Amino acid sequence: MVESVLEMLKEIFLGPRCKKLINYDRGKIEFTATVDAPGTKFSIEDFKYGKERLYSACEAAKTLDDCQFNLCRISREVPRDSPERMKILKIRAAAIMTISSIRLTMIAFKENPKKETKKLDQLIDDMRRLSGIAGVWDTDVPPLGVPAVRCFTTKSKKISITSQSSEKKKRKKAVKTMHPVYHRITITDMKPVSIALKRVGIDEKELDLMIKGLP
């Protein structure tokens, strides 16, 4: 099973574009894609018990999903031989598998909340810790002493142009120009990653080998 999960993670890492795994709004959550199952929808109001705990779980899952999405963008810009790339992909693997696990746990919690409460609480803690490991934000200037990836984005800019009429009036026109942006990232303690991977049954050494073999 571990090999098949690693293969699925590999497919996600090599996918053509970055994707979010969750759509959450007003107590309704949809797992649009997970490693081991098709999409699943939940409404917290359909649960008889533990609604407050489930709201916390959904908020934590959404935050972690935003994190893995940002890490996906950055991992595609980081050089293959960069030590930061290994860390980024390991955090993302732990995030993806934890989101998959929270989906399964919510299914079980609906049937037996008393039995699944402890596991749900553990996963909420895992998601919050994983979300706090990597700080990702954009800046217009190269940050000093912090790993960063330079990329470009389009930015609208108004310029003055002269019309072709006889009056030769000047007017403003919005044009899109390439604008440099730096994805700035700080990675702190990787211990929560090891804990999360162990909890979802992923061998960290096997994951390392898989990541090292990625193109």
Cα 126 to Cα 33: distance, rounded to the nearest angstrom: 20
Q: What's the structural domain count of the chain? A: 1
In a domain, 96, yes or no: yes
Q: What 3-state DSSP class applies to 65?
A: helix
* Residue 66, domain extent: 2-138+185-212
Question: Angle CA(203)–CA(8)–CA(205) in degrees, nearest 5?
Answer: 20
In a domain, 191, yes or no: yes
Predicted confidence (pLDDT) per residue in 103-157, tens digit: 999 999 999 999 999 999 999 999 999 988 876 555 555 544 544 444 444 444 4
In a domain, 174, yes or no: no
Looking at residue 92, its amino acid is R
The pTM score is 0.77
In a domain, 69, yes or no: yes
In a domain, 68, yes or no: yes
Structure tokens at 23: 């759509």
Predicted confidence (pLDDT) per residue in 24-58, tens digit: 998 999 997 555 566 789 999 999 999 999 999 99
In a domain, 100, yes or no: yes
In a domain, 167, yes or no: no
